[in-house]
Amino acid sequence: MNSWEAYRKAFTEYLQIEKNASAYTIEFYLKDLSVYFDFLKQEAISDVSLVDYQTVRIFLAFLYEQRLSRRSVSRKISSLRSFYKFLQREGEVDSNPFLQITLPKAEHPVPGFLYEEEMEKLFSVSDTTTILGQRNQAILELVYATGIRVSECTGLLLEDVDFYLGTMLVRGKGKKERYLPFGRFAEEALEKYISDGRKQLLQKSKSDTSFIFLNARGKPLTARGVRLILNKLVEEAALTVDLHPHKLRHTFATHMLNEGADLRVVQELLGHEHLSSTQIYTHVTKDRLREIYMNSHPRANNRDG
């Protein structure tokens, strides 16, 4: 190969034929390659085999100068590792200079959550004398009580809920199942909806289904439907927050940990495979942090004296 275009063409064929990569994946690989080739031209480097560890360090600095996120930088480095692995196999280079570079750690922004006062406003919005009000209250109470994902919520069946034990069977990611407890508020809201509102909704569709949550036409509710319901509740509560179903999951986890729940218990409840996924919720509010400090440190209370 003796030109940038030849490298690009050969790598594309490798991704398509041997890696069976999707068109979307290939597009990103080629974008990353173009950025890299432009950099080499700027540095007057005429061949990929002339690149060494120092060159890669300069390239890394070049990427950060573009104010790219850590995630974008990591993807580009990963793409170029694959490119040089391909070149090694083809005998174009002797070593892979990108193997020596440590990928930047991904940024984990603190998940947004609602304060307890905001949740109380949401709980007071629905008119539970109406069919849809009962359903909306049941969804809100259940998602906050258990931290289930919206897909897990819409997938709940009547036979999954055990009111006697106060538990429900949830089907999570990868078809993994787990049993979750729920409290009195969620139990009351769910029982009221199932015994009243749901029966009336079911009559509208003139068909039978085991799915618990139904739309206004009596058909199984979709994830999009849940999002619309939550946004409507926020609007009616006059809250200036963006409430997506996952934020209720974040709120559940944050409130549990703020009240002293064990991290591994919360991991189990959320259905996280790895503890690191749960650790992003270990932030606490400033007020809660101060409260814990004032109540725990032997010499903290003197400030008020």
Residues classed as catalytic: 149, 173, 246, 249, 272, 281
Annotate 252-262 with b (16+ C-beta within 10 A) or e (fewer). bbbbbbbeeee
145 Cβ contact partners less than 8 Å away, ≥ 6 residues apart: 182, 183, 185, 186, 252
Phi, psi of 55 (to 5 degrees): -60, -40
Q: Determine the Cα–Cα distance for residues 153 and 211; give it in Å rounded to an integer.
A: 10
Rounded Cα–Cα distance for residues 262 and 28 (Å): 41
Q: How far apart are CA 214 and CA 222, in angstroms?
A: 8
Contact 136, 229 (CB under 8 A): yes
The CA distance from 93 to 48, in Å, is: 8
d(CA 12, CA 30) in angstroms, rounded, equals 8
Report the alpha-carbon distance of residue 181 to residue 14 in Å, rounded. 50
